[in-house]
Homo-oligomer: A and B are copies of this chain.
């Protein structure tokens, strides 16, 4: 029984990465519901364009699933033109997410950049602030995902940021109240973060969570595209989940398996396997 969140449980969530050749988000919603997942990470505009608002809402509620998070549809890492081309559509995405009851939008932070680091930080701060402001009007939080794998720190010319603390400082610099962390277990692991780091957080500092595991290789060698399913690897996911629960985080925990060599199997087989993995790690954490 859950003691940590006044009765509120984290939601089991599913992203499409690692589920094979999914037809579309509809199939993801149906498989998620069938195998006990309560949230999916999909694009709200795409779903509504595909089936209409009414049908989209029915699809979600009939399958007992909510949209855990949408992805930020704005490219803030490149030129100003690129950014402005995306920003102008963000209002429609925010409205669509809100329509379908989704309150989270996430983006990842690459730990290195070909731009001069300090200048890029200034540009990115302003751009993400603009995104957070439009999202915030629709009650949507913006989650920033620090990315830990060591190889990415030197993939581009200049180091950017990759730790939880640096990301929290960046969130303060962006200065909008609806910005928080997307905490991904793989990045928590590859930055050698601890359970104490999680326990030091307030639940409202976490917008979203990703779950996955790492193979038994030195942490510096863990590749961003080398993730495996929860419970198959060496990350202390029970500790990770218990920490989140202890601080009162009650949002989605969405699986995201980025793998250069995708697992074999049909989407349904892979979702069933994902369920078994979730049962295992949630069970090990004393959660359901």
Chain A residues within CB distance 8 Å of chain B: 3-7, 84-85, 87-92, 94-95, 98, 116-123, 125-126, 129-130, 133-134, 137-138, 158-161, 166, 169-170, 172-173, 175-177, 202, 204, 245-248
Contact = CB atoms under 8 A, between A and B. Distances in A.
B95 A84 contact: yes
The 6 nearest A-B residue pairs measured at CB: A177-B177, A88-B91, A121-B121, A4-B6, A117-B117, A122-B173
Contacts of A134: 87, 91, 130, 133-134
Contacts of A247: 6
Q: For the complex formed by this chain, how many copies does it contain in all?
A: 4
Nearest to A4: B6
A5 B123 CA distance: 32
A166 B126 CA distance: 13
A123 B88 contact: no
A100 to B, nearest CB: 14
A169 B204 CA distance: 20
A15 to B, nearest CB: 25
Nearest to A6: B4
Which secondary structure characterizes the binding site on chain A? helix
Contact of A122 (B88, B121, B158): B121
B90 A169 contact: no
Given A88-B138, A117-B158, A175-B177, 6 more contacts: A6-B6, A84-B95, A91-B134, A117-B118, A119-B166, A119-B169
B84 A118 contact: no
A3 B130 CA distance: 39
Contacts of A245: 6
Contacts of A125: 121-122, 125, 173
A173 B123 CA distance: 7
Contacts of A248: 5-6, 248
Contacts of A122: 121, 125, 161, 166, 169-170, 172-173
A127 to B, nearest CB: 8
24 contacts: A4-B6, A6-B245, A87-B134, A88-B92, A88-B95, A89-B91, A117-B117, A117-B118, A119-B166, A121-B122, A121-B173, A122-B161, A122-B166, A122-B169, A122-B172, A123-B169, A123-B173, A126-B169, A126-B175, A129-B173, A130-B137, A134-B134, A173-B173, A204-B204
Residue among A84, A94, A125 with max Cβ neighbours from chain B (10 Å): A125
Contacts of A166: 116, 118-119, 122
A167 to B, nearest CB: 9
A65 to B, nearest CB: 23
Contacts of A176: 177
Nearest to A160: B118
